[in-house]
Copies of this chain bind each other. A is one copy, B any other.
Amino acid sequence: MKPKLKVGIFGFGCVGQGLYHVLNETHGVKAEIKRICVRDRQKPRPIGPEIFTFNADDILKDPEIDVVVELINRTEDAFQITHEAMKNGKHVVSASKRMIAQHLSEIVGWQKKYNRSFLYEGSVCGSIPIIRNLEEYYDNDLLRSIEGIFNGSTNYILTKVANEKKSYAEALLQAQEKGFAESDPSQDVKAFDPKYKLIILIAHTFGVFLQPERVVNIGIDKLSAADLAYANKNNWFIKLVAHAARMDSRLFGFVIPQYITEHHPFASVHNEYNAVSVEGAFSEKQLFVGKGAGGYPTGAAVLSDISALAYEYRYEYKKAEQEDRYTFTNDVSLDAVVSFEEGKINPAEFETVKVQTAEHDRRFIEGSAKLLKLKEWSELDNVSVVLAPDCQVRQGK
């Protein structure tokens, strides 16, 4: 009988505490927590002090510890801890999507170099086992696209705003109180967080490693009351949708709010729930829906990684090894609805214009425009960019 894996944890916030409880209430997993490293010496903790340390080396240099679970917010610290741990012969399980998106290709190199695993199911869409499915199950199916709602806090805010006619600020505050939104919500509402997750999923879906700067993200923070009224009037919802697809040998991806019709599968994805839709050449469209935030769902995902380490599981990035490689491009045109204060943007910069209206002191143009033009507009005051419900993506000429 194999001995239990010994686990050292960095960080004891929402996910760390979720993991602690999930592990203690589960029978099947051969793992125990030996030490938890935290930074703040003053903070009251829900469990006794014996297990805590303030010195990273108590975990990193403990030869008994097999697995380091890294659950901290500070990206560079998370990166250093991951490196030290793998160098010292430990497997690493991480939920730091930003750190992973920024450094994935380097860490995959360490996986080979130090012959240790780096797993991170908890970093993407909480409890939805999407990375494991992309790695293990869709291995053979030529994947065409992946898209979804990857951020629980913005989805919570958008749900409250739409269903309960709450103001944006009120909904944000409520999301923070429930622990779905970070104290600094800009990573969520400006769509950086779902972009990091998209970058991670692109590596497993298409075998391409992208730097975050290359991928366009447009947040929900610029949405106006007029946009919400426009959605209501049409019986649409606004969702923050991440999208990546291949077209011949080219690959594109972005995160932009989108109008969704009431019959779209994402329309019934409410509150902190996430959704991922994977389209394969043969399996066709598959939808996964589950809780994308919260200590227990994410803790359960982290625990599944720890459990997989009992048999030395490792992501293989098979698509990155295959011959069909894709070239990433932002040179695409999209169908969008842009609303703006008169004079802010020049309608002649649309490639085509389908509908023009004026509502609530704003002008609305539904038409097709270049992705980078949409990004430029989205950064202006009193302009908001939302993709059209049946948005088509066209390659640049």
Of residues 288 through 340 on chain A, the ones whose CB sits less than 8 Å from some CB of chain B are 288-291, 296-297, 299-301, 303-304, 307-308, 318, 322-324
**B28 & A140 in contact (Cβ 8 Å cutoff):** yes
Contact A284 B268 (CB under 8 A): no
A128: which of B22, B29, B286, B322 is its contact (CB, 8 Å)?
B286
The residue on B at minimum CB distance from A295 is B282
- How many of chain A's residues have a CB under 8 angstroms from any CB in B? 48
Please determine whether B283 and A265 come into contact, CB atoms closer than 8 angstroms: no
Q: Which of A4-12, A59-67, A131-139 contacts B (4 or more CB under 8 A)?
A: A131-139
Q: Does A26 contact B (CB under 8 A)?
A: yes
- Contacts A282-B300, A323-B27; A267 near B265 (Cβ below 8 A): no
Asked if A94 is at the interface of the complex by the 8 Å CB criterion, the answer is: no
> DSSP majority for the A interface?
mixed
Which one of B140, B286, B290 contacts A286 once the chains associate, using CB atoms below 8 Å?
Answer: B290
Q: Is the CB of A284 within 8 A of B289?
A: no
Interface pair A286/B127, CB less than 8 Å apart: yes
Judging by beta carbons under 8 Å apart, are A296 and B284 in contact? yes
| A182 contacts B by Cβ under 8 Å | no
How many identical chains are in the complex? 2
**Interface assignment of A129: CB less than 8 Å from any CB of chain B:** yes
Check B268 against A304 for contact (C-beta < 8 Å): no
Asked if A280 CB lies within 8 Å of chain B CBs, one says yes
Q: Contact between B286 and A288 (Cβ–Cβ < 8 Å)?
A: yes
Q: Which one of B25, B285, B297, B323 contacts A283 once the chains associate, using CB atoms below 8 Å?
A: B297
Q: Are B263 and A26 in contact (CB under 8 A)?
A: no
A76 in the interface (beta carbon within 8 A): no
Q: Complex formed: what's the CA distance from A138 to B129 in Å?
A: 9
* A169 close to B (CB within 8 Å): no
A300–B140 contact, CB under 8 A?
A: yes
Most buried by B among A18, A137, A265, A280: A137
A348–B188 alpha-carbon span in the complex (Å):
57
Pairs of residues from A and B, 9 with the lowest C-beta to C-beta distance, nearest first:
A282-B300, A127-B283, A287-B289, A286-B290, A283-B300, A129-B137, A282-B296, A22-B282, A26-B140
New A-B pairs, 19, CB < 8 Å, besides A22-B282, A29-B140: A25-B281, A26-B141, A26-B142, A27-B322, A28-B322, A127-B280, A127-B282, A127-B284, A127-B286, A129-B137, A132-B133, A136-B308, A140-B303, A141-B300, A263-B268, A265-B289, A280-B300, A282-B303, A286-B289
